[in-house]
Structure 1
Amino acid sequence: MGSPSQVTLKTTFTVCFAVLAVVTLAVLIVKAEVALILTGLAALIAVALNHLVVLLMRLRMKRGPAITLVLSVLLFALVTVALWVIPSALTQVQALVEQAPGLVAEFRASRFFRWLDAHFHILQQLRRQDRSPSELASGALPPLLHAVTGAFSLAGAAVTVGFLVVFMLVFGPGLVRRMLSQALPERRARYERVLGKVYTATGGYLGGLSLICSINATLTTTFLAIIGMPYFLPLGIMSGFSSMIPYAGPIMAGGAITLLTLATGGLWKAMATFIYFILYGQLEGNVLAPLVFRRTVHVDPLLTLFAVVFFAELAGIIGAVLAVPLVAAAQIIVRELLLVRREKLGERVPPVP
């Protein structure tokens, strides 16, 4: 007779239930990807605004009026930007779209494009992908429908995020306190410390990132207006938003704007634009970014790039924006877990005499 099995029925059911739970969680994450992205974006905005609410509460203002004042100022700022900046930007964008075929033709006739085509055969690759006019006509309706549905989806997402932000500001702190009250007394202080570190790092990162985006948009818009770029306003705004993606965003925006300047303004303006983005890259990389990343989230630049690439593949541009706060929070949690492990090992291992 062999020895009885050491794997009990309870252990088997426990393992099966754990595997089923992991699979179910993975399926829910895949199915609810959009909801998770909107919730994460709303949480980041709520954390950033909550710092202002707490600041007003320190000035002896109650939380309700403080939330109302912060949301009112934010709404006023958004309406002001919508009335003053967006119409001019849309006008320039419309002009850019109308002149796009001519710009493409000018760029194809430039020496730079002829040099690229001679080495990489770009036109040959484009001709292979061309379709017949009938196919292009039949395929024109679906993109239009996608554009209309995309606009409604974007508006619905904005409204959803707005309501989530309001509810998180109003009910979020109470929910966190009730969840912490359910923890064991000896662990509650540790949980509060971890949440406090994540809250401080995330708020500092978002505040600094907003400052970097504003500086980028202001400087780029001013520079493009000085050199006489006809589409300086939308390009400057695009450059400002590119700073939301660390390191990679400004490089891609600078390259695109330089090529557009080459097609519209000539070689000398393109060279000036290239030099400007090189100098601004040094300013953002060596002065502005360290003030944000090293003093708030303390995330290594190489780890930041890996996180941006990974989350961009998972959730697109929003994933790239959320990458740094998520990695910073994960880093804080991992450090706390390692600290707990060292404390336990310190209790088990006798001290060296």
Structure 2
Amino acid sequence: MSQALMPAPESPSGRGPVRVSFTVRTVLLVTAIVGLVAAFVYIKEAVMTLFLALFAAFVLEPVVRLMMRKTHLGRGAAATILVLSLTALAVVAAFVVVAPLADTFRDFVNALPQIVDDISNNTKVTSWLNSHSAAPETVQANIKQIAEDIGNALGGLLGIIVSGFSLVLSLVTAIFLTLFLMIDLPRLVGAVDSLLDPRGSDRWGRMTEQIITAVSRTMLGNIAISIICGTLYGLSAWALGTPFPVVMGVIAGLLDLIPMVGATISGVILVLATLTQGITPAVIMLIIVLVYQQVENYLLQPTILGKAADVSGFFVIFSVMVFGALLGVIGAIIAVPIIASIQIVTRELTAERRSRMAELREVADAPTVAATETL
């Protein structure tokens, strides 16, 4: 049912007033969209928890399948053992590794002003920097405030982790949600498949397998590469006398999870920290960083990741920016698997059209080829 306003008579100039017509369907559609957006904002945290749990289930799916093949366990048992093992490992790591690292990080933050003093008081470093920029004075003038801000942020974060009951509840919810999704994943995929015709079923099967492979291999491969990066940078920092080598290795490993830019940022931090030991150690660290980045880009990533995330550099940067803005650091880390999944879906949905367009181009090019051969 709609009510369209009759157009008004045109004015002598030939231009009548603009009339806008709204149908009941349009009003209802706009209301529904606004309601969905408002509901999403209200339940945003729950939606994000569900999304991350689904993402984790995709990442761990190949591991569950491997456990089922090797141990002949059922899906429920294999998924439960895997999730409980990872949870126990995380708890042990939190007590054995994270707690001492938190103290080390606090010492590192408190020592930042002294590190900058050491860099500034180094005659060779100071003369070289002064000949190129006025950075030492700027950094020295602001480093105390920066250190205080970082310390306050770190202290607040530690306080939330220790006393935040809601955080613990969210983690437990996410763990069990991931477990149930892993157990029911084939059933959920089959439920969607039952609604499709044979051709759509084949396409759905291809898409799900490719998405699971892309997400799992990309994330597990990135974690493995980040461990290699953090270990190498940490050992290099220790060998060159860089302050807080363990912290430097952890920072490098975490930042290396961020595609494209993470390794560069961690390398800059390491080189700047190594300046406390002089120009020569900093140059050596710079060489190590540059060589490792080439090895990672041209050896580790093609070998470990393969073609799981065959995404162009432009879309990698774009996805990191967009998902980083939406989900923070976690969004930047999972950006490439998400954009790879979108690429897989788009490729499958447009496969038939691309095939038809290729045939049309071949037909269009045939007369030209025949005329060329005649000549």
TM-score interval, normalised by the smaller of the two chains:
0.7 to 0.9
* Counterparts of 2:36 and 2:183, CA distance in 1: 28
Give the TM-score, by structure 2 length: 0.75
* Counterparts of 2:90 and 2:289, CA distance in 1: 28
Deviation at 1:42, TM superposition (A): 2.3
State the match for 1:236 in structure 2: 249
Aligned residue-pair number = 337
1:326 maps to 2:338: yes
Deviation at 1:25, TM superposition (A): 3.9
Q: For residues 305-338 of structure 1, what are the alpha-carbon distances to aligned partners after superposition, in whole Å with 9 as ceiling and x for unaligned?
A: 2211222122211110121011011111111221
Please say which of residues 237-246 and 140-149 is displaced more in the overlay: 140-149
Contact between 2:211 and 2:344, CA under 8 Å: does it hold in 1?
yes
Q: For residues 2-32 of structure 1, what are the alpha-carbon distances to aligned partners after superposition, in whole Å with 9 as ceiling and x for unaligned?
A: xx99xxxxx9444444444444444444454
Contact between 2:64 and 2:79, CA under 8 Å: does it hold in 1?
yes
Kindly tell me: are residues 287 and 252 of structure 1, through their superposed partners in 2, closer, same or farther at Cα, counting changes over 3 Å? same
State the match for 1:287 in structure 2: 299
The counterpart of 2:80, out of the listed 59, 65, 68, is 68
* Counterparts of 2:244 and 2:138, CA distance in 1: 30
Kindly tell me: are residues 270 and 256 of structure 1, through their superposed partners in 2, closer, same or farther at Cα, counting changes over 3 Å? same
Kindly tell me: are residues 43 and 291 of structure 1, through their superposed partners in 2, closer, same or farther at Cα, counting changes over 3 Å? farther
Contact between 2:120 and 2:136, CA under 8 Å: does it hold in 1?
no
Contact between 1:308 and 1:320, CA under 8 Å: does it hold in 2?
yes
Contact between 2:113 and 2:144, CA under 8 Å: does it hold in 1?
no
Kindly tell me: are residues 127 and 282 of structure 1, through their superposed partners in 2, closer, same or farther at Cα, counting changes over 3 Å? closer
Contact between 2:240 and 2:274, CA under 8 Å: does it hold in 1?
no
Contact between 1:197 and 1:332, CA under 8 Å: does it hold in 2?
yes
* Counterparts of 2:197 and 2:285, CA distance in 1: 59
Aligned ranges for residues 33-44 of structure 1 at < 5 Å? 33-44=44-55
Aligned ranges for residues 242-253 of structure 1 at < 5 Å? 242-253=255-266
Contact between 2:113 and 2:143, CA under 8 Å: does it hold in 1?
no
Kindly tell me: are residues 245 and 68 of structure 1, through their superposed partners in 2, closer, same or farther at Cα, counting changes over 3 Å? same
Q: For residues 180-235 of structure 1, what are the alpha-carbon distances to aligned partners after superposition, in whole Å with 9 as ceiling and x for unaligned?
A: 22334442222222112111211111221121112112222222222233411122
Unaligned runs of 5+ residues in structure 2 are: 1-5, 8-21, 367-375
Contact between 2:219 and 2:334, CA under 8 Å: does it hold in 1?
no
1:166 maps to 2:185: no
Kindly tell me: are residues 34 and 267 of structure 1, through their superposed partners in 2, closer, same or farther at Cα, counting changes over 3 Å? farther
* Counterparts of 2:56 and 2:131, CA distance in 1: 45
Deviation at 1:174, TM superposition (A): 1.9
State the match for 1:47 in structure 2: 58
What amino acid does structure 1 have at the position aligned with 2:214?
A
Kindly tell me: are residues 266 and 38 of structure 1, through their superposed partners in 2, closer, same or farther at Cα, counting changes over 3 Å? farther
Kindly tell me: are residues 15 and 272 of structure 1, through their superposed partners in 2, closer, same or farther at Cα, counting changes over 3 Å? same
Deviation at 1:116, TM superposition (A): 6.1
State the match for 1:8 in structure 2: none
The counterpart of 2:207, out of the listed 194, 201, 206, is 194
* Counterparts of 1:228 and 1:75, CA distance in 2: 35
Give the TM-score, by structure 1 length: 0.79
Contact between 2:320 and 2:336, CA under 8 Å: does it hold in 1?
yes
